[in-house]
Amino acid sequence: MAKPEMREPIESGCPDGFQYMHPTMRRNFGLWDFHEDTQPGVMVHVAKGGDKVWTVKAGTQRILDVFTLRDLLDIADEFADGYIRFTIRSNIEFYTDTEAKVQPLVDALKEKGYAVGGTRNSVASISHTQGWLHCDIPGTDASGVVKSMMDELYDEFTNWNMPNRVHITTSCCQINCGGQGDIAINVQHTKPPKIDHSLVGNVCERPSVVARCPVAAIRPAMVDGQPSLEVDEKKCICCGACYPPCPPMQINDHEFTQLAVWIGGNHSNARGKPTFQRLVAAGIPNNPPRWPEATAIVKKILDCYKEGARDWERINEWVERIGWPRFFEVTGLPFTKYHIDNWRGARANLNSSTHIRF
């Protein structure tokens, strides 16, 4: 029997990035020697053969309207070489291999109101998820939190005035793609979900919801003769995981859905071990449209870090050096019982590490 002819795979993933690269970058792939930061928001990469590519970085509001996008692309065509890239922190980077184009490009961006910066020892754009647009469980408008905070951190973005780079993240729910960073602003639910029993029977797949709870706090129940669910509130850790598969288990609340600030998370193992972030402020009002309470706390932490850290210390390294009691002293943040992990499963939780055993 003839060997069946294999069909060609259909590629539907990410397109090949090389086709969008600046030609000088393509030519020097794998041949870069070093890079330098020439001014806030501007870097030059130098190849072993002497080719150079300048990168100019500007902040954006992330959720771009088509007019802003066209504006930015016109700038790329007129002042750079027509090549751009969006970073994971919603910055736009323009590329050129002509030094004479750099300053006019920076000036054109500033003239149109775009902030140029976010490199080296500055506060980079805050990364965030955006549940309101595409997800089913957001507890806050993460983009709004970011916009309010970056408005307040304009100088820290456009200047090199921090001890080292600062990565800030936000998330719009408590359990999924929330970030880990030098500072993280995450949603915190503080009450168990309220169940609308009249809807559960028709809307929820009850076995899936029961299976979803990480602490087995949900049980099937008959309520008023209808199939429904019940929550053991003593076990519930208010994570919000039951709400996506079962919207009648509403957990969002204008008062009890709050924000928390965590600090010191670091993925890098360049100079020290990667570190987990730790809770430093909880119960912060989820207060749109400007979130002033959360912004004030983040600014206070940044001011103390700027004041007290040594050159090139990241936030986690600064706190490790001065100690956590001193951190709470200098920032004036209250240390409360909510900072202590007293969850009944914490013992098993901590024992999951090979380093700490109880």
Q: What is the contact surface with ligand SF4 in residues (CB under 6 A)?
A: 129, 131, 135, 137-138, 171-173, 176-178, 192-193, 212-213, 215, 217-218, 231, 236-242, 251
Nearer to ligand SF4, 137 or 146 (CB): 137
- Report the nearest approach of ligand SF4 to the CB of residue 220 (Å): 13
- Report the nearest approach of ligand SF4 to the CB of residue 251 (Å): 6
Nearer to ligand SF4, 146 or 239 (CB): 239
User: Of 128, 124, 154, whose CA–CA distance to 140 is shortest?
Assistant: 128
Nearer to ligand SF4, 58 or 187 (CB): 187
- Report the nearest approach of ligand SF4 to the CB of residue 176 (Å): 3
Nearer to ligand SF4, 110 or 212 (CB): 212
Ramachandran angles phi, psi of 30, nearest 5°: 80, 5
- Report the nearest approach of ligand SF4 to the CB of residue 216 (Å): 8
CA–CA separation, 163 vs 165, rounded Å? 7
Angular region, 177: left φ>0, alpha ψ -120 to 50, beta rest: alpha
The strands making up 257-263's β-sheet, listed across from edge to edge, are: 168-170, 183-189, 257-263, 278-285
Nearer to ligand SF4, 138 or 163 (CB): 138
User: Of 57, 56, 33, whose CA–CA distance to 45 is shortest?
Assistant: 33
Nearer to ligand SF4, 240 or 248 (CB): 240
- Report the nearest approach of ligand SF4 to the CB of residue 131 (Å): 3
Both tokens of 323, joined, read 């100690």
- Report the nearest approach of ligand SF4 to the CB of residue 196 (Å): 14
Ramachandran angles phi, psi of 319, nearest 5°: -70, -40
- Report the nearest approach of ligand SF4 to the CB of residue 137 (Å): 5
Nearer to ligand SF4, 108 or 177 (CB): 177
CA–CA separation, 68 vs 82, rounded Å? 16
Question: 257 near 287, Cβ under 8 Å?
Answer: no
Nearer to ligand SF4, 166 or 187 (CB): 187
- Report the nearest approach of ligand SF4 to the CB of residue 215 (Å): 5
